Structure 1
Amino acid sequence: MNVFVIGANGQIGKQLVERLKQDGKHEVTAMVRKQEQLDEFKANGYQVVLGDLEGDVETLKQAMSGMDAVVFAAGSGGSTGADKTLLIDLDGAAKSVEAAQANGNIKHFVMLSALKAEDRSAWPDSMKPYYVAKHHADRLLEQSGLDYTIVRPGALTDDAGTGKVNVDNVSTGEIPRADVAAFLAHVIGRQEAANKAIDLVKGDTAIEETI
């Protein structure tokens, strides 16, 4: 499949495009926001396009031209305020879903969300804007008519990946970003993962055996 990764310069996005390139199962196109990021990705042999989640839907649609799958792995980052969370994590995700709908050829949309995003009672006060954004972005995707997979990882760490996760009866936990990237790569294009929201923390099951 031709896979379009939004947020390819992020901590998980970078590891995802690298894994997709190494695996060789899909053709990957990275979307980045800045020219210097584009230059870096090109220098490393990636297909890459410029895109701005604060821009318009039509431009995103054009960037997705020829793609079969979209992975939304973008985020405003922990150092920004609620305004950027609203613009990137919510409206940027919404625009990406709208662009995928308008594209007409997208067979699978994979959304990187957060554990407990669906459960308002579980949101910590300090992160409510982030969870509000994830909650409504997920709902928009679920209602879009696109085949989707929502991946909801627990607390993210920079530990080395283990290649093993838990996706069953998850209540809390953490997971290395490397394993989140590996799991995203694993679910792309898999019919078994279609129209599901999957909670994800570190565990004892090999990623390849989860779906």
Structure 2
Amino acid sequence: MENILIAGANGITGKQIVNLLKASQYFNPIAMVRKEAQLNQFKADGVETVLADLTKDLTHAVKGADKVLFAAGSGGKNVVEVDQEGAKRLMAVSKMAKVKKFVMLSTMGADNPQAVEGMEDYMKAKQNADEYLRSSDLNYTIIRPGTLNNSQGKGKIELSEKLNKQGKISRADVAQTLVRALHDDAPNNSTFEIIQGNTLIGEAMNELNMSVN
């Protein structure tokens, strides 16, 4: 089983990712959390943890990790230091640790920050993090979902490198897509957008894989 470090494990989407990985026969989750108090809930569930802060040195966090999944966010409070620079810090140490893949939870609109009124700073931070990852020499997948909601997951999405339309998607389906991206046969070195749709997640990703290879 591959060890997967999840940055943002304590978030709403992050917790769903941890649960999916815990139930997987392929992956072992390592929950990266920022506060001591957050460790106990994961330890109680038998999930490995590591205490690390995206605004500080992260060298220790990636030790033993085969792949990294970035699902962290500042909630708009510190977008440059967390969403941008924190992501870049984790990429840098991941590269040094020779992790096999870095999966990034980004957002639709990150390719054109000025078009999203009121969220330009956040979108710019996500754009900068995405561009840094693409130029890092790490094997990567960048996933850009539409507007997130807490609806029940359907296991079906609409996926394209550029959808050219807006849409919603459940956090549950985003979590499933992120976990699917960790597999070796998932699209590598690619960026794509997702919203709710009618195609099974695995099937949609296989179709993308065939189109880019």
The TM tier, using the shorter chain, reads over 0.9
- The alpha carbon displacement at 1:67 in A equals 1.1
SS in 2 for 1:160: coil
| Preserved contact between residue 118 and residue 135 of structure 1 (Cα < 8 Å) | yes
Give the aligned residue type for 2:201: I
Where does residue 115 of structure 1 map in the other structure?
A: 108
Where does residue 64 of structure 1 map in the other structure?
A: 62
What is the distance in 2 between the residues matched to 1:153 and 1:138?
A: 14
Where does residue 73 of structure 1 map in the other structure?
A: 71
Are residue 6 (structure 1) and residue 7 (structure 2) matched? yes
What is the distance in 1 between the residues matched to 2:190 and 2:34?
A: 29
CA displacement, residues 82-128 of structure 1 (integer Å, 9 cap, x when unaligned): xx111110110010111111112x0100010000211235322x111
Are residue 135 (structure 1) and residue 133 (structure 2) matched? no
What is the distance in 2 between the residues matched to 1:108 and 1:120?
A: 26
Of 80, 93, 100, 1:99 maps to 93
Are residue 151 (structure 1) and residue 138 (structure 2) matched? no
Give the aligned residue type for 2:89: K
CA displacement, residues 61-98 of structure 1 (integer Å, 9 cap, x when unaligned): 222111110001000015x2xxx111110110010111
Where does residue 172 of structure 1 map in the other structure?
A: 166
Give the aligned residue type for 1:115: M
SS in 2 for 1:210: helix
Residues matched between the structures, number: 202
Where does residue 21 of structure 1 map in the other structure?
A: 22
TM-score, length-normalised on structure 2? 0.91
- The alpha carbon displacement at 1:195 in A equals 0.3
Give the aligned residue type for 1:68: D
SS in 2 for 1:186: helix
What is the distance in 1 between the residues matched to 2:100 and 2:7?
A: 16
What is the distance in 2 between the residues matched to 1:86 and 1:161?
A: 31
Q: Runs of 5+ in structure 2 lacking a partner?
A: 206-213
Give the aligned residue type for 1:72: F
What is the distance in 1 between the residues matched to 2:103 and 2:59?
A: 16
| Preserved contact between residue 114 and residue 151 of structure 1 (Cα < 8 Å) | yes
What is the distance in 2 between the residues matched to 1:63 and 1:158?
A: 29
CA RMSD across the alignment: 1.2
Give the aligned residue type for 1:26: F
| Preserved contact between residue 54 and residue 88 of structure 1 (Cα < 8 Å) | yes
What is the distance in 2 between the residues matched to 1:192 and 1:182?
A: 13
Where does residue 50 of structure 2 map in the other structure?
A: 49
- The alpha carbon displacement at 1:24 in A equals 2.5
- The alpha carbon displacement at 1:34 in A equals 0.8
What is the distance in 2 between the residues matched to 1:9 and 1:114?
A: 19
The alignment-based identity, stated in percent, is: 41
What is the distance in 2 between the residues matched to 1:36 and 1:120?
A: 35
TM-score, length-normalised on structure 1? 0.92
Are residue 195 (structure 1) and residue 196 (structure 2) matched? no
CA displacement, residues 147-200 of structure 1 (integer Å, 9 cap, x when unaligned): 000000000001111110000352210100011001101110334411000101
